[in-house]
Copies of this chain bind each other. A is one copy, B any other.
Amino acid sequence: MSKSVPARADQPTAAGAVAEHLAQMILGELTPGSSLPSEAALATRYAVSRLTIREAVKLLEGRGLLEIARGRKAVVREPDGAAFADFLTSIIRYDPKGLFDLVEIRLSLEVQSATLAAKRANRAGIAAIESELQGMRDTAGAPGQPMSDDQELSFHTHDVGFHEAVALASGNRILGFLFEAMAQPLREGFFISRRGHEKRGHTRHDTIEAHQRILDCIKAGNGRAAAEAMRLHIKDTERDIRVALSQLAHQPVEHS
């Protein structure tokens, strides 16, 4: 008698229920790379219309569990930190204090990251870190010369890349993904912190030297020293941000 399966008030929606069931299946049994049955097949199995299946699958795509392409079945996705990126972005946008919260998180994660990298980094991992540092040098230009916007973006990208490379070299996959997710918010943060950096009389070559010290400790396999070098560097960044933001706060009321 009932052709449709409308959602009841006390029950989640049909699409949500299907999505939850599929999510359990994906997280439980299926491995990344394997594919789901076709939409039509799933519609038959769950006794709902194909549209409901589409909505369920879209939910899971949003959660980062599936990859959907036209003409192909939905594929279980390798986990990555993309889902976390939205969250960090919204935190920073909605909350002015968010940037300091992020620096505090970095302080603990990066120190751990450097410690582990010093213990475990293999040749490829160290080469990746060196490559990013070289990229910073290449785009830094001559001392005293102002940087173009392109150069600055490239410099920050290599800076973020350096920290991401250290995280990857730590051998801890979660750390790697966390830094991947932090990359975008971090780049935004670096544009801010650089103002403070200059205001405090430092140059980008000081930044490069700080990174060089961290790399040296990692290459030497000295976890404790690497941790300390990283801690000093992050603390310095925190001061940069504080100076830059306090300037921003004073600017609007200038000459009033």
Contact = CB atoms under 8 A, between A and B. Distances in A.
A175 interface: yes
Contacts of A70: 7, 9, 13
A198 interface: no
A206 interface: no
A9 to B, nearest CB: 8
Contact of A174 (B28, B29, B86, B101): B101
A174 B83 CA distance: 14
A113 to B, nearest CB: 8
Interface stretch (A90-98, A156-164, A212-220): A90-98
Secondary structure dominating the interface of A:
helix
Given A7-B70, A70-B13, A174 B91 contact: yes
A87 B15 contact: no
Given A59-B59, A87-B177, A109-B109, 10 more contacts: A13-B70, A31-B94, A55-B58, A58-B58, A79-B87, A101-B172, A101-B174, A104-B172, A108-B108, A108-B112
Interface of A: 7, 9, 13, 15, 19, 23, 27-29, 31-32, 51, 54-55, 58-65, 70, 79-81, 83-84, 86-91, 93-95, 97-98, 101-102, 104-105, 107-109, 111-112, 116, 172-175, 177-178, 256
